[in-house]
Each structure stands twice: as C-alpha cells, then as structure tokens.
Amino acid sequence: AQRVTQPEKLLSVFKGAPVELKCNYSYSGSPELFWYVQYSRQRLQLLLRHISRESIKGFTADLNKGETSFHLKKPFAQEEDSAMYYCALSFNQGGKLIFGQGTELSVKP
C-alpha cells in the first residue's frame, strides 16, 4: 500500500540555522511527490512539487528514488517559516493525495 512517513512530529531550530524535514514514501511505481505547508490559521497550500524542481521561499526538495525519500531543505531558516509541513504522494492521474503525518517546524529567534 502507498504510504508517506514523516518521522519528526516537531522540529525546532534557531533562526539562520539549516533545516531538513524528512519524508519517506513507499510506492512501487513512479510517484509524484509534493510538499504542502499550513501556516497558523490558514489553509493548506502547495509549497513544492518534485517535477518542477524549483526553489520556493528558499526551500528545495530532491526526489531520491533509491532511498524513497523527498526531504525538504532550507539552508537558513526564518521565523516566518514556522508552520506545519506535510509531505504528500500522488500515484495516479486522478490527483488523489496521500499525506504524511506532518512536521511542525518552529523557528526560534
């Protein structure tokens, strides 16, 4: 079965420190991976998708098929990055998303 695992429930770093939010998935085919972010009292919004290979708000994520991972990284965390981050997997053309448990990122001043 398809599954997304985010091992860290909470990640706390200081402003300016590097941050890496881990995501591992299980799917035998070719998945499409996403990172979604939910700021306090706001709706879920797309941050990154692996196909676009772009950097958004300084965040990047690389799909590693060998390790079945899609970790989210930022070299210098900012206080405004504090939010819930969800890794998600789509495995068909229908758009259905399987979400990980989420990681709360807290960036301290």
- For another protein, the closer CB: 28 or 93: 93
**3-class DSSP assignment, residue 81:** helix
**3-class DSSP assignment, residue 109:** coil
Q: Give the C-alpha separation, 47 to 6, whole Å.
A: 16
Contact set for another protein, span 54-83 (CB under 8 A): none
Shortest distance, CB of residue 37 to another protein, whole angstroms? 11
Shortest distance, CB of residue 75 to another protein, whole angstroms? 26
Contact set for another protein, span 84-103 (CB under 8 A): 84, 86, 90, 93-102
Closest by CA to 87, choosing from 42, 55, 44, is: 44
Binds another protein by CB under 8 A, chosen from 49, 59, 89, 107: 49
Shortest distance, CB of residue 108 to another protein, whole angstroms? 19
Q: Give the C-alpha separation, 105 to 58, whole Å.
A: 15
Closest by CA to 20, choosing from 74, 81, 88, is: 74
Shortest distance, CB of residue 11 to another protein, whole angstroms? 14
- Start-to-end C-alpha separation, the chain: 41
Binding site for another protein (CB under 8 A): 32, 42-46, 49, 51, 84, 86, 90, 93-102, 104
